[in-house]
Amino acid sequence: MRTTYRPGGTRYVAYGSCVALVAMSVAVTLALPQDIRAQVTLSQALTLYGSIAVFLVILHGIGRSRVTVGDDELEVVNGFRTHHVPWSRVRGFAFGEGAPWPTLVTVDDDRLMLFALQGSSGHGRVRDAVDDLVRRVP
């Protein structure tokens, strides 16, 4: 059985910000008088829209974070990095009071942040998810 955890509010804010940013950029571009738009050089326009594109990519990375729990392994996606951690390598999980997200601790004492389980989504909800993960540790 596979269970996937994704950030709630964080994901909505990330993708909502993408939509708002694109909508505002288009609205401002179209609202500028033609004589002002004519003064904008190609390099200025590329810099502005390139910066917006980078911001959209960063927000997408935040929004796509997830933790997928399988019988054999955990798949942790933080931004654009994917980690496959077999249960045999998991020592435990740390999630202190006030922590922004839990941390997976491996038998090698490596630490992997679980960005998909945002403490801001409700500490009780995240605590339930962490308790589920802890029960699966061999």
**pLDDT tens over the chain, length 138 residues:** 788 888 878 888 889 999 999 999 999 989 999 999 999 999 999 999 999 999 999 999 988 999 999 999 999 999 999 999 999 999 999 888 878 889 999 999 999 999 888 877 665 678 888 888 888 888
123 vs 3, 56, 65, 101, 111, CA distance in Å? 19, 28, 18, 9, 21
pLDDT score for 68: 94
pLDDT score for 5: 87
Q: What pTM, to 2 d.p., does this model score?
A: 0.79
The full DSSP string for 100-129 is SS-EEEETT--EEE-TTS-GGG-HHHHHHH
Q: Which amino acid is at 23?
A: A
Q: How do the residues of the chain divide into helix, strand and coil, expressed in percent and rounded to 5?
A: 50, 20, 25
Q: Give dist(CA 71, CA 86) in Å, integer.
A: 9
Q: What are phi and psi of 24, to 5 degrees?
A: -65, -40
